[in-house]
Amino acid sequence: MKKLLAVSLIALSVSFAKAQENKDVYKIDLPSYDWKMKDGKYKEVFEQNCLMCHSPGYVFGQAKGKSGKDMWRTVVYQMINEFKAPISKENAEKIIEYLNENYTNKN
């Protein structure tokens, strides 16, 4: 009987310690979404080079606006020069072409 009590006390304290541990851990499961990008030439170059760091939402938002001339060139080179995206010049031109063809905004 004493043994049983001791065992259950240990079990109780272990589970209490676990609860304490969990109380200190804050977690969140982030949802992710299936972005439907337009099919087109060099779409895969865009996907391989851009989606590692951010969602296509950045493209959708800008494409809905009325931006200046050569907007996608500015954006892609900003990614390379400021955010250090490892994109070759050749691929940069392909990405710009894909975006210009498929996501040119109202301007």
Partner 1 sequence: MDSRRDFLKKGILFALGSVALRNVSFAEESNVIDFKDYPKMVKYPGKTSLIMYSDRPPLLETPRSYFASAVTPNEAFFVRWHLANIPTEVNLKEWRLNITGNVKKPVSLSLDDLKSMFEPVSYYAVLQCSGNGRSFFENKQTPLGIQWKYGAMGNALWTGVRLADVLNYAGVKGDSVEVAFAGLDKAPYPETPNVERALPVDKCLYENLILAYEMNGEPISLLNGFPLRLIVPGWYATHWIKSVTNITVLNTELKNFWMEKAYHIPDNACHCVQPGEKPKKARMITEMNVKSVIGTPDDNTVVRVGEVVKIAGVAFDQGFGIKEVLISFDGGKTWKETGLGPDLGRYSFREWFYYFRPTTKGNIKVMVRAVNKNGETQPMEAGWNPGGYMWNGIDSVTIKVV
| Residues lying near partner 1 in the complex (CB under 8 A) | 21, 24-36, 38, 47-49, 51-58, 60-68, 71, 74-75, 78, 82-86, 105, 107
Smallest distance from partner 1 to CB 44, Å: 9
Beta-carbon contacts of 67 under 8 Å, excluding residues fewer than 6 positions away, are: 105, 107
The answer to whether residues 73 and 93 touch, using CB atoms and an 8 Å cutoff, is no
Indicate the residue among 13 and 55 with the shorter CB distance to partner 1: 55
Distances (CA, A) of 82 to 23, 38, 40, 63: 40, 27, 27, 21
Smallest distance from partner 1 to CB 10, Å: 22
Q: Tell me, what amino acid is at 33? A: Y
Indicate the residue among 8 and 57 with the shorter CB distance to partner 1: 57
- Distance, in Å, from the CA atom of 85 to the CA atom of 81, rounded to the nearest integer, reads 7
Smallest distance from partner 1 to CB 82, Å: 6
Indicate the residue among 8 and 15 with the shorter CB distance to partner 1: 15
